[in-house]
Structure 1
């Protein structure tokens, strides 16, 4: 159950990051809701995961998945640069997340 909370929290963190990008460009209520709601739900779900998982593991996985997801979506949706160094860095982040999941 804890991993489901962390996965959902990471998803909402990505939604919040996309909302933040959109809100910084165009200040609408929908973008603000995406930004604030995404991050708010993300923190709530992460907090719920602490009842099942160690804080250090849950937090690290949440940060890693959220970061990787936000970078990928910004590359796809907003035209951020796609180069070998960025993609290799994402791979390293995801490998670390998988490693933490396997040892916990």
Structure 2
């Protein structure tokens, strides 16, 4: 159940960051709701995961998945650079989070 909460937290973080991007372009209630709601749900789900998983593992996984997801989302949806260095850095995040899970 804990991993399910971490995944829900990461997905909602991506929704919140997408809403933040939209809100910075056009300030309206819909974009603000997506922004605040996504990040609020993200915090609620990561907090719930702490009942099942060690805080250090859940938090590191959440931030790693969120960071990697945001990088990919921005490359695919918002035209950010797809340089080799960014890809290698993203791979380092994935390896680090996987290592924490294994240990």
In the superposition, the TM-score normalised over structure 1's length comes to 0.95
Q: State the secondary structure of the residue aligned to 1:96.
A: helix
CA displacement 1:25-56 (0-9 Å, x = unmatched): 11122211110010000000000000001111
1:78 corresponding residue in structure 2:
78
1:58 corresponding residue in structure 2:
58
- Paired residues in the alignment total 103
Whole-angstrom CA distance in 2 between matches of 1:71 and 1:21 = 13
* Unmatched tracts of structure 2, length 5 or more: none
Q: State the secondary structure of the residue aligned to 1:22.
A: helix
CA RMSD of aligned residues (A): 0.8
Whole-angstrom CA distance in 2 between matches of 1:11 and 1:98 = 18
Whole-angstrom CA distance in 1 between matches of 2:14 and 2:102 = 23
Deviation at 1:63, TM superposition (A): 0.3
1:33 corresponding residue in structure 2:
33
Whole-angstrom CA distance in 2 between matches of 1:10 and 1:87 = 20
Whole-angstrom CA distance in 2 between matches of 1:10 and 1:77 = 18
* Unmatched tracts of structure 1, length 5 or more: none
In the superposition, the TM-score normalised over structure 2's length comes to 0.96
